[in-house]
């Protein structure tokens, strides 16, 4: 187990190096630089050159790259050109919001998805099964930005129950925080609920047809007990795999949700960085997100072993 | 009995607390939240000419002279100016008792330091290019000596483009983007949370300029009647409108045409038309075929139906107008306008026949702003009628502007001229001097501009501008499709709001 962990952690290094190289390449390939955010179209090439020099963008790319790597090795991700603060603190300041949002959405998606999938599987072919699966398909097909706007129109504009956007820090006002997170969480979760429900249903159908389920039934155990005690744990592997994938996808979808609900999360930070060509922010942000992605993968793999004793971490 | 007593005590407590807050409710004050499209690249006014930035910074900082409602330069931090007979020395008399947000009084040392900083790092160096020296003459007088006469010097000093904001001297000593946000404006900076909001609050020690009786453009009497203003950045258009409709914000800086029409029918909102706000221009690349050929350029102009172009891109808020200044400007002229908005395919084909066009595909670049993409699409379909193939390349602003500032990779590039027409004819001309916009210098434009900037005679300036407009059409330097506006929306709680280029928060009150 310890060896496995160590091996996995070491294998992260080349991945991070590759990601950073690729992000450098992308930055060089896409035209435009941070001066575009500061200047309008009537600026002259001389104005642009002057600003480039002031922002330190006039150094050759290779020099910039070498400087960046030497800083990163000491844990310094550089300074954001637009925000004027270290990239790492910009990310760390925004991270709790995005992580909370993704975690809450994951919780809601797994909770509702597994419940709906199990419910449908135990009523295979019935009207209830078909209705739940139709709903799941609908959830899967709904574009999240559209669903977010729909929620805003209904719950903010029509009923006035919840804020239409903006963020209230948890420590400042817990109730306000909960209210500000509710609609974004639902929006982020809706696609994944459908995904998990369908996955759970098919995994449960496989399990239900197994001998040990019939044995449990013939012993006269109550139906719900059989499902929860014997069925679900055995259907967990595919559900866990999907959950792992979703956890990563949620970080990506969070960008859209943060945009719709005007939440200052990491997604918006990096999108803003890309749109304004804030190089240090793009570089640092991508590197940081990669680390989180890899961590999630590692956790899922460790959970495999915890859930299924047949999996050996060798 | 105990319960009844408790209830009585509670009711009494509630009443006293209501009485306690009542005066606060009735008094002027409150917070206005404005939904903005995006956050500013910087709050250091000297280093950005982005519209989103000046919407905020012009509440915090002030300039020696500022533009009034008609875009004329009028005194703001200065009491006035005297110009030497040779037109080379401008002596500004400063208003006394003007306080910075850090409590310090503004003196000539701050003005000198700020102008010097702008000369070093300001992003629109053309505004101060004519300056030779800036010197303090006593605590309340500043003399600016020019290298050569410049007819638009006061216009430049008062430009809101990337304003020559007056900072305290110690801030002006700092580098680009490194200052504390301290100005003399009616609002002082409180907080900036990137991707979320900027909050400003009323500057208690602000004394409105006694020379004015009322609000006037970016100058005039700036009396603040509210306590705070927050600019909240909501990039998604639907969410911005929803924020207004749910009461979370009181002002939206811009909405699209259909939304404006819907809100106009609801008495809870007031839709303000700010028209004209900008020019829509299609730049033509004279360095690349076939747009290097004047006959091809004329063919394009002749083919276009500007009514169609403007109505599709800026539904309900546009003017079909080919003048290179706004219609009410004293410089407005009809020179060359017989070549504008012809919508004549026969004439277009005639020009095309005389041109070197060989059937090649022409590249139209545009950023992803919806109206700009719409214009590219309309032009594409219109030109197809005369047999010109157009390929549209849409990218984000940094990519598009990068390509547009080079000689290759594009023939047409469309975007708004936002601040230029507001600044006046000098700035509009400057965009085409030295071939900046069209990539090949036009000697005639360069000559006209040079003479324009050197003369102080109003009649001569008007005559030169007429020549400029005529040349723009005769050589079809660039195509102006028309003027467009924007819809600012306030809810019924916002009183005394007068729409302008930036949503000004002075003079505005908020109903409880």
String of b and e for A264-281 (b: at least 16 CB within 10 Å)?
A: bbbbbbbbbbbbbbbbbb
Beta strand B31-36 with B228-233: parallel, antiparallel or unpaired?
Answer: parallel
Q: Tell me whether the omega of the peptide bond preceding residue B145 falls within 30 degrees of 0, making it cis.
A: no
pLDDT averaged over chain B?
92
Name the residue with higher pLDDT: A208 or A130.
Answer: A130
Whether A157 sits inside 8 A of B420 (CB atoms) is no
Nearest C-alpha neighbor of A230 from the set A251, A194, A204, A261? A204
State the average pLDDT over residues A109-132.
Answer: 89
The number of beta carbons lying within 10 Å of the beta carbon of residue B454 is 14
What DSSP letter does each residue of B391-440 carry, written as one string? EEEEE-HHHHHHHHTSSSS-SEEEEEE-HHHHH-HHHHHHTTGGGTTTSS
Nearest C-alpha neighbor of A157 from the set B262, B39, B497? B262
The number of beta carbons lying within 10 Å of the beta carbon of residue A161 is 12
Question: In whole angstroms, what is the distance from residue A186 CA to residue A176 CA?
Answer: 16
Question: In whole angstroms, what is the distance from residue A232 CA to residue A123 CA?
Answer: 15
Q: Which residues contact residue A41 at a Cβ distance below 8 angstroms, ignoring those fewer than 6 apart?
A: B401, B404, B415
State the average pLDDT over residues B39-58.
Answer: 93
Do residues B288 and B512 make contact, with C-beta atoms less than 8 angstroms apart?
A: no
Q: How confident is the model at residue B305, as a pLDDT?
A: 97
Which backbone phi and psi does A48 adopt, to 5 degrees?
A: -65, -45
Q: How confident is the model at residue B67, as a pLDDT?
A: 96
Q: How confident is the model at residue B8, as a pLDDT?
A: 44
What DSSP letter does each residue of A184-218 carry, written as one string? HHHHHHHHHHHHHHHHHHHHHHHHHTSHHHHHHHH
**Which residue of chain B has the CA closest to A37?**
B41
Q: How confident is the model at residue B1, as a pLDDT?
A: 41
Categorize the per-residue pLDDT at A312 as very low, low, confident or very high, splitting at 50, 70 and 90.
low
Q: What is the DSSP letter of B286?
A: T
Q: Which of A33, A35, A43 to mutate to test the interface with B (most CBs of B within 10 A)?
A: A43
Q: How confident is the model at residue B179, as a pLDDT?
A: 94
Distance (Å) from the alpha carbon of B435 to chain A's nearest alpha carbon: 10
What DSSP letter does each residue of A22-91 carry, written as one string? HHHHHHHHS---THHHH--TT--HHHHHHHHHHTT--S-HHHHHHHHHHHHTTT---B-TTT-SBHHHHH
Q: How confident is the model at residue B25, as a pLDDT?
A: 41
String of b and e for B234-264 (b: at least 16 CB within 10 Å)?
A: bbbbbbbbbbbbbbbbbbbbbbbbebbeebe
Categorize the per-residue pLDDT at A1 as very low, low, confident or very high, splitting at 50, 70 and 90.
confident
- Radius of gyration of chain B measured on its C-alpha atoms: 26
Largest CA distance in chain A: 85
Judging contacts by C-beta atoms under 8 Å, the chain B residues touching residue A149 are 236, 238-239, 242
| Helices marked H in A81-173 | 87-121, 127-141, 144-151
Residues in chain A: 314
Whether B242 sits inside 8 A of A167 (CB atoms) is no
Judging contacts by C-beta atoms under 8 Å, the chain A residues touching residue B403 are 31
pLDDT at B13 over 70: no
Q: How confident is the model at residue A311, as a pLDDT?
A: 66
Distance (Å) from the alpha carbon of B431 to chain A's nearest alpha carbon: 6
pLDDT at B193 over 70: yes
Whether B123 sits inside 8 A of A149 (CB atoms) is no
Q: Which of A39, A164, A167, A266 to mutate to test the interface with B (most CBs of B within 10 A)?
A: A164
CA atoms within 13 A on the CB side of A234: 17
Vertex B350: Cα angle to B348 and B354 (nearest 5): 115
Q: How confident is the model at residue B382, as a pLDDT?
A: 96
Nearest C-alpha neighbor of B341 from the set B381, B303, B293, B371? B303
pLDDT digits (tens, 9 = 90+) for B286-344: 999 999 999 999 999 999 999 999 999 999 999 999 999 999 999 999 999 999 999 99
pLDDT digits (tens, 9 = 90+) for B209-263: 999 999 999 999 999 999 999 999 998 899 999 999 999 999 999 999 899 999 9
Categorize the per-residue pLDDT at A209 as very low, low, confident or very high, splitting at 50, 70 and 90.
confident
- The region of weakest confidence among A22-26, B250-254, B393-397, B445-449 is A22-26
Spacing of C-alpha B6 from chain mean position: 60
The B131-136 sheet, strands edge to edge: B78-83, B89-94, B141-146, B131-136
Judging contacts by C-beta atoms under 8 Å, the chain B residues touching residue A264 are 193-196
- The region of weakest confidence among A197-206, B95-104, B236-245 is A197-206
pTM, 2 dp:
0.87
ipTM over 0.85: no
Q: What residues form DSSP beta bridges with B318?
A: B484
Categorize the per-residue pLDDT at B206 as very low, low, confident or very high, splitting at 50, 70 and 90.
very high
What DSSP letter does each residue of B206-223 carry, written as one string? ----TT-SSEETTEE---
**What is the number of CB-based contacts under 8 A between chain A and chain B?**
155
Distance (Å) from the alpha carbon of A64 to chain B's nearest alpha carbon: 20
Q: What SS3 class is residue B381? A: helix
Judging contacts by C-beta atoms under 8 Å, the chain B residues touching residue A50 are 121, 123, 125
Q: How confident is the model at residue A193, as a pLDDT?
A: 92
Q: How confident is the model at residue B434, as a pLDDT?
A: 92
Categorize the per-residue pLDDT at B21 as very low, low, confident or very high, splitting at 50, 70 and 90.
very low
Distance (Å) from the alpha carbon of A24 to chain B's nearest alpha carbon: 16
* Tokens matching residue B73: 């330069």
Distance (Å) from the alpha carbon of B373 to chain A's nearest alpha carbon: 16
pLDDT at A306 over 80: no
Q: Tell me whether the omega of the peptide bond preceding residue A110 falls within 30 degrees of 0, making it cis.
A: no
pLDDT digits (tens, 9 = 90+) for A216-229: 777 777 777 777 77
Question: In whole angstroms, what is the distance from residue A119 CA to residue B313 CA?
Answer: 51
Nearest to A164 among B176, B243, B431 (CB): B243
Nearest to B176 among A54, A166, A265 (CB): A54
* Tokens matching residue A127: 């009207």
Nearest C-alpha neighbor of B151 from the set B448, B433, B477? B448
Beta strand B187-193 with B89-94: parallel, antiparallel or unpaired?
Answer: unpaired
Give me the sign of the Cα torsion angle A150, A155, A160, A162. negative
Distance (Å) from the alpha carbon of B197 to chain A's nearest alpha carbon: 9
Judging contacts by C-beta atoms under 8 Å, the chain B residues touching residue A148 are 239
E strand or H helix at B364? strand B361-367
pLDDT at B11 over 60: no
Whether B232 sits inside 8 A of A277 (CB atoms) is no
Q: Please report, to the nearest 10 degrees, the dihedral formed by the alpha carbons of residues B402, B404, B408, B411 taken in order.
A: 150
B266-270, long-range: CB < 8 A, 24+ apart? B267/B492, B268/B491, B268/B492, B269/B244, B269/B489, B269/B490, B269/B491, B269/B492, B270/B489, B270/B490, B270/B491, B270/B492, B270/B494, B270/B497
* Tokens matching residue B38: 């995006």
Nearest to A262 among B232, B246, B419 (CB): B232
Categorize the per-residue pLDDT at B63 as very low, low, confident or very high, splitting at 50, 70 and 90.
very high
Q: How confident is the model at residue A313, as a pLDDT?
A: 58
Question: In whole angstroms, what is the distance from residue A121 CA to residue A199 CA?
Answer: 10
Which backbone phi and psi does B391 adopt, to 5 degrees?
A: -105, 125
pLDDT at A18 over 80: yes
What DSSP letter does each residue of B235-261 carry, written as one string? -SHHHHHHHHHTTS-SEEEEE-HHHHH
State the average pLDDT over residues B177-203.
Answer: 95
Do residues B130 and B147 make contact, with C-beta atoms less than 8 angstroms apart?
A: yes
pLDDT digits (tens, 9 = 90+) for A52-64: 888 778 888 888 8
Judging contacts by C-beta atoms under 8 Å, the chain A residues touching residue B398 are 30-33, 36-37, 275-277
Question: In whole angstroms, what is the distance from residue B279 CA to residue B323 CA?
Answer: 10
pLDDT averaged over chain A?
85
Categorize the per-residue pLDDT at A314 as very low, low, confident or very high, splitting at 50, 70 and 90.
low
Residues in chain B: 512
Give me the sign of the Cα torsion angle A143, A146, A150, A155. positive
Judging contacts by C-beta atoms under 8 Å, the chain B residues touching residue A166 are 196-197, 232, 243, 248
Judging contacts by C-beta atoms under 8 Å, the chain A residues touching residue B49 are 38-40, 43
Nearest to A260 among B41, B50, B239 (CB): B239
Q: For a pLDDT cut of 70, what percent of chain B falls above it?
A: 95
Nearest to B246 among A44, A83, A160 (CB): A160
B162: region left, alpha or beta (phi > 0 left; psi from -120 to 50 alpha): beta
Nearest C-alpha neighbor of B46 from the set A36, A272, A38, A43? A38
Whether B246 sits inside 8 A of A261 (CB atoms) is no
Q: How confident is the model at residue B242, as a pLDDT?
A: 93
State the average pLDDT over residues B352-361.
Answer: 95
CA atoms within 13 A on the CB side of B201: 7
Q: How confident is the model at residue A71, as a pLDDT?
A: 87
Do residues A140 and A195 make contact, with C-beta atoms less than 8 angstroms apart?
A: yes
Q: What is the DSSP letter of B203?
A: -
Whether A42 sits inside 8 A of B420 (CB atoms) is yes
State the average pLDDT over residues B452-466.
Answer: 94
Name the residue with higher pLDDT: A295 or B282.
Answer: B282
State the average pLDDT over residues B72-90.
Answer: 95
pLDDT digits (tens, 9 = 90+) for A256-270: 899 899 899 998 898
Do residues B11 and B226 make contact, with C-beta atoms less than 8 angstroms apart?
A: no
Give me the sign of the Cα torsion angle B307, B311, B316, B321. negative
Whether B196 sits inside 8 A of A48 (CB atoms) is no
**Which residue of chain A has the CA closest to B176?**
A54
User: How would you write B29-82 as a 3-class SS string?
Assistant: CCEEEEEECCCCCCCCHHHCCCHHHHHHHHHHCCCCEEECCCCCEEECCEEEEE
- The region of weakest confidence among A112-126, A292-306, B266-280, B337-351 is A292-306
pLDDT digits (tens, 9 = 90+) for A149-196: 999 999 998 888 998 888 888 888 899 999 999 999 999 999 899 989
């Amino acid at each position: 187990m310890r060896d496995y962990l160590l091996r996995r952690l070491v294998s992260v290094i080349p991945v991070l190096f590759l990601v950073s190289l690729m992000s450098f390449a992308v930055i060089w390939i896409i035209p435009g630089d941070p001066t575009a955010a500061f200047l309008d179209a009537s600026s002259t090439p001389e104005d642009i050159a002057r600003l480039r020099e002031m922002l330190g963008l006039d150094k050759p790319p290779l020099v910039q790259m070498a400087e960046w790597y030497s800083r990163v090795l000491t844990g310094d991700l550089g300074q954001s050109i637009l925000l004027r603060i270290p990239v790492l603190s910009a990310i760390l300041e925004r991270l709790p919001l995005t992580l909370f949002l993704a975690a809450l959405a994951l919780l809601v998606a797994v909770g509702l998805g597994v419940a709906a999938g199990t419910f449908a599987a135990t009523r295979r072919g019935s009207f209830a099964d078909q209705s739940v699966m139709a709903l799941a398909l609908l959830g899967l097909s709904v574009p999240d930005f559209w669903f977010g706007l729909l929620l805003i129109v209904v719950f903010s504009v029509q009923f006035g129950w919840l804020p239409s956007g903006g963020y209230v820090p948890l420590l400042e006002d817990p109730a306000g925080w909960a209210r500000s997170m509710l609609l974004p969480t639902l929006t982020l979760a809706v696609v994944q609920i459908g995904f998990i429900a369908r996955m759970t249903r098919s995994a449960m159908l496989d399990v239900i047809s197994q001998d040990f389920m019939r044995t449990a039934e013939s012993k006269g155990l109550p139906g719900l007990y059989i499902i929860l005690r014997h069925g679900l744990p055995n259907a967990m592997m595919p559900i866990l795999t999907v959950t792992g994938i979703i956890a990563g996808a949620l970080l990506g979808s969070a960008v859209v949700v943060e945009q719709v609900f005007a939440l200052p999360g990491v997604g918006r930070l990096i999108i803003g960085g890309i749109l304004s060509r804030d190089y240090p922010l793009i570089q640092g942000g991508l590197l940081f997100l990669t680390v989180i992605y890899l961590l999630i993968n590692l956790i899922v793999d460790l959970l495999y072993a915890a859930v299924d004793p047949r999996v050996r971490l060798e | 009995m105990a319960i009844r007593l408790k209830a009585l005590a509670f009711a009494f407590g509630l009443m006293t607390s209501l009485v306690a807050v009542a005066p606060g409710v009735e008094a002027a004050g409150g917070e206005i939240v404005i939904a903005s499209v995006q956050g500013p690249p910087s709050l250091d006014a000297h280093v950005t000419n982005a519209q989103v930035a000046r919407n905020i910074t012009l509440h915090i900082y002030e300039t020696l002279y500022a533009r009034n409602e008609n875009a004329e330069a009028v005194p703001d931090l200065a009491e006035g100016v005297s110009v030497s007979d040779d037109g080379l020395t401008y002596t500004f008399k400063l208003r006394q008792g003007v306080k910075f947000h850090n409590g310090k009084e503004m003196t000539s040392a701050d003005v000198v330091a700020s102008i010097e900083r702008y000369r070093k790092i300001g992003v629109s160096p053309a505004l101060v290019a004519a300056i030779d020296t800036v010197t303090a003459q006593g605590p309340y007088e500043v003399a600016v000596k020019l290298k050569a006469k410049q007819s638009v010097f006061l216009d430049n000093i008062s430009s809101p483009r990337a304003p020559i904001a007056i900072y305290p001297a110690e801030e002006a000593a700092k580098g680009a983007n490194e200052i504390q946000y301290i100005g003399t404006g009616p609002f002082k900076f409180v907080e900036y949370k990137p991707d979320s909001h900027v909050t400003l609050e009323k500057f208690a020690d602000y004394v409105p300029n006694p020379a004015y009786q009322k609000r006037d453009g970016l100058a005039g009497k700036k009396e603040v009647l509210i306590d705070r203003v927050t600019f909240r950045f909501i990039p998604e258009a639907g969410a911005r409108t929803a924020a207004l409709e749910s009461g979370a914000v009181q002002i939206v800086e811009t909405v699209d045409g259909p939304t404006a029409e819907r809100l106009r029918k609801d008495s809870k909102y007031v839709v303000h038309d700010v028209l004209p706000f900008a020019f829509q221009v299609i730049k033509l690349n004279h360095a690349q075929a076939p747009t290097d050929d004047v006959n091809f350029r004329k063919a394009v102009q002749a083919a276009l139906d500007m009514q169609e172009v403007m109505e599709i891109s800026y539904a309900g808020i546009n003017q079909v107008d080919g003048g290179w200044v706004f219609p009410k400007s004293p410089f407005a002229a009809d020179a060359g306008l017989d070549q504008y908005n012809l919508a004549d395919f026969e004439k277009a084909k005639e020009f095309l026949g005389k041109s070197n066009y060989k059937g090649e595909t022409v590249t139209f670049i545009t950023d992803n702003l919806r109206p700009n993409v719409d214009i590219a699409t309309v032009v594409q379909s219109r030109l197809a009628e005369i047999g010109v193939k157009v390929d549209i390349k849409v990218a984000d602003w940094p990519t598009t502007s990068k390509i547009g500032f080079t000689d290759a990779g594009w023939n047409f590039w469309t975007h708004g001229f936002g601040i230029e027409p507001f600044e006046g004819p000098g700035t509009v001309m400057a965009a085409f001097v030295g071939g900046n916009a069209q990539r090949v210098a036009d000697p005639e434009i360069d000559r006209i501009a040079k003479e324009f900037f050197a003369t102080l005679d109003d009649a001569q300036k008007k005559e030169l501008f007429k020549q400029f407009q005529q040349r723009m059409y005769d050589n079809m330097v660039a195509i102006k499709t028309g003027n467009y506006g924007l819809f600012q929306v306030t809810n019924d709680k916002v009183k005394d709001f007068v729409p302008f280029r930036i949503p000004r928060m002075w003079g505005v009150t908020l109903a409880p």
